[in-house]
Amino acid sequence: MSDAEDCRVAIIGSGPGGLAAAMLLGHRGAEVTVFESRNEEGGRSGAFRGTTQDGIFSFDIGPTFFLYPEMLRSLFAECGLDLDREVSLARLDHHYDLIFEDGPKLSVSSRVDDLEAEIAKISATDAVGVRPFLTENRRKLEAFAPILQRPFNSLADVARLDMLKALPLLRPHRSVDADLARYFNDPRTRLAFSFQSKYLGMSPYRCPSLFTILGFMEHEFGVHHPIGGTRAVMAAMRRAAERFGVRFRMGEAVSQIAFSGRRAVGVVTANGVHPADAVVVNADFGRAMTRLVPDRLRRRWTDRKITGKRYSCSTFMLYLGIEGRLDTIGHHSIFLSREYQKNFAEVEAGLTLPQDPSLYVQNACVTDPGLAPAGFSTLYVLMPVGHLREDGLDWSEETRARARALVLARLRDAGFPDLEHRIRFEKIVTPQDWEDEMDVHRGAVFNLAHSLDQMLYLRPHNRFEDLERVYLVGGGTHPGSGLPVIFSGARVSCALLADDLGLAKAPRASNSFVAPAGAFQHGEPI
């Protein structure tokens, strides 16, 4: 196929990976249609609004910040667009409050001198390890960034020179916590640089040591808040795709992928069959494969294989509209249980509610007051819990009520005022809701776990190996979960699709400013 205008691509889902694919393929001239079951783009990176007599409260559904917006900025630039003309990204001077249950409370920023002073509240000896930690992880990220931006289609890709050179920095036999012990003696200090493994839904005591780069990236590149919430970025990506003629069919769920043999030839919705030369799957991997593709067509990723894989944790969510302002509380707060290792073991087991849970809280209105009516605040409260399993916790009304009471009590432990009498809007989301309402397999919101046996070549491939003309984007494929990583993976998948279908090299023009492609800027402000 040589004429891009004749290349029809169906994208299932308008999450960040699907939107990135729509932009890239639309820019290359393909005829792209995005099918989205919800009425708003973004998937788990979208938003919802709560309307009350006091006004409208707006909440991000899932991700609440950007760690490395240069990846997104360069994605826009690749399409001839300028992200900063589309979205206002506020770099937070104060990243978050890190609250240890037995003390201390750290105020974390990117300023290394300040970071050392905060770590010294735990241990003056550990504060000396901060700069060596940052230096080594800068080298680690430089080594692994190119690897995470190329496909792993075969075992030969694992043995390429860049991978062999990077292996000494990987230390595959160590967990994140064990690797950090080379710099920090106090387990609380190690937790300050490793709780970020929860961004992957994993425990730092089991997460591979590669992912010490997550904590590093916060300090190297900063924490950014899009004004209007993460949904503002998703809306900008949709607008960008539409400039290239991409069509969005909102509220139109795909019920199955149509095949001729093993080759995808379109998608099926309630409105009929929609022919396509290629299908990009942005839906949750486990859910999509077991619902949209017959088991008999899949050789490697059968239903049985998918059932036997390891999955990330899930989350219990409280989205609260609060009367009054909370201006003495930071934009982000992380409350860490004194029994963090036990807490996460309970989460991984998934049999009960955590006894003394840790929490993540976003108080976005201190930066972005437009998310709530004047004089009000929004609180996004996340408690990690186990994903759904046959012998696991039953999310009955009684369990929901117990979880709610537990979270409100832990908020008081974390130093938040008694909030219950100030709640003017409330929404609860459980693992069962993630599965039923957002089509998340087992409610595992961070997808397949990022263990060594489920990474790189061992993760579902960007050009899906079990089928023809099916490409994966999102957290369920290489390189994995997290917004910058998902954007990188979408680039990998779209490059493979473009090569396979012979998309024209000359991109479709847009009517927007052409920005230079972003470079990887280690250590420089963004």
Within a domain: 143: yes
Q: Using CB atoms within 10 A of its CB, is residue 475 exposed (0-12), middle (13-18) or buried (19+)?
A: buried
Within a domain: 509: no
The pairing of strands 96-100 and 359-362 is unpaired
Residue type, 350: G
Structure tokens at 11: 């994208």
The predicted model gives 297-310 an average pLDDT of 97
Do 422 and 456 fall within a single domain? no
For the residues of 267-284, what is the DSSP string, one character each? EEETTEEEE-SEEEE-S-
Per-residue pLDDT at 5: 57
The predicted model gives 401-410 an average pLDDT of 98
Do 305 and 451 fall within a single domain? yes
Query: For position 19, which CATH number holds?
Result: 3.50.50.60
Host domain of residue 430: 313-442
Residue 323: count other Cβ atoms within 10 Å of its Cβ.
16
Q: What is the C-alpha separation between 157 and 360, in angstroms, rounded?
A: 37
Per-residue pLDDT at 520: 28
Per-residue pLDDT at 512: 35
Given a cut of 70, whether residue 514 has pLDDT beyond it is: no
- Percent over 70 (pLDDT), the chain: 95
Do 268 and 365 fall within a single domain? no
Given a cut of 60, whether residue 507 has pLDDT beyond it is: no
Per-residue pLDDT at 347: 94
Tens-digit pLDDT profile for residues 178-210: 999 999 999 999 999 999 998 888 899 999 998
Q: What is the C-alpha separation between 377 and 425, in angstroms, rounded?
A: 10
Contact between 314 and 442 under an 8 Å Cβ cutoff? The reply is yes
Structure tokens at 470: 């099916």
Instruction: Give the total residue count for the chain.
Output: 526
Sign (positive or negative) of CA dihedral 141, 142, 143, 145: positive
Q: Confidence class of residue 144 from pLDDT cuts 50, 70 and 90?
A: confident
Name the nearest CA neighbour of 367 among 322, 317, 415, 332: 332
Name the nearest CA neighbour of 225 among 77, 87, 114: 87
Contact between 510 and 494 under an 8 Å Cβ cutoff? The reply is no
Within a domain: 526: no
Q: Confidence class of residue 124 from pLDDT cuts 50, 70 and 90?
A: very high
Do 120 and 202 fall within a single domain? yes
Structure tokens at 423: 């709640």
Within a domain: 56: no
Given a cut of 50, whether residue 525 has pLDDT beyond it is: no
The predicted model gives 374-387 an average pLDDT of 97
List CB contacts of 168: < 8 A, sequence separation 6 or more: none
Q: Which residue has the higher pLDDT, 460 or 149?
A: 460
Do 353 and 410 fall within a single domain? yes
CA angle 63, 66, 70 (to 5 degrees): 145
Domains identified in the chain, total number: 3
pTM, entire model: 0.93
Single residue among 192, 221, 250 that ends a domain in this structure: 221
Do 284 and 324 fall within a single domain? no
Q: Which residue has the higher pLDDT, 26 or 154?
A: 26
Contact between 444 and 313 under an 8 Å Cβ cutoff? The reply is yes
Tens-digit pLDDT profile for residues 241-264: 999 999 999 999 999 999 999 999
Within a domain: 58: no
Do 305 and 317 fall within a single domain? no
Q: What is the C-alpha separation between 14 and 238, in angstroms, rounded?
A: 8
Tens-digit pLDDT profile for residues 474-486: 999 999 999 999 9
Q: How many helices (H) and strands (E) does the chain have?
A: 18, 19
Within a domain: 150: yes
CA distances from 352 to 24, 30, 343, 349, 432 (A): 44, 49, 11, 8, 14
Per-residue pLDDT at 509: 46
Within a domain: 29: yes
Q: pLDDT averaged over the chain?
A: 92
Name the nearest CA neighbour of 108 among 228, 207, 222, 10: 222
Do 142 and 186 fall within a single domain? yes
3-class DSSP state for residue 345? Answer: helix
Residue 401: count other Cβ atoms within 10 Å of its Cβ.
11
Within a domain: 39: yes
Question: In whole angstroms, what separates CA 115 from the centre of its chain?
Answer: 25
Q: Confidence class of residue 6 from pLDDT cuts 50, 70 and 90?
A: confident
Do 205 and 256 fall within a single domain? no
Q: Confidence class of residue 504 from pLDDT cuts 50, 70 and 90?
A: low
The predicted model gives 395-403 an average pLDDT of 98
Single residue among 164, 188, 221 that ends a domain in this structure: 221
Q: Confidence class of residue 147 from pLDDT cuts 50, 70 and 90?
A: confident
Do 451 and 305 fall within a single domain? yes
Do 300 and 365 fall within a single domain? no
Per-residue pLDDT at 523: 29
Q: Confidence class of residue 4 from pLDDT cuts 50, 70 and 90?
A: low
Do 213 and 147 fall within a single domain? yes
Q: Which residue has the higher pLDDT, 199 or 372?
A: 372
Single residue among 221, 251, 274 that ends a domain in this structure: 221
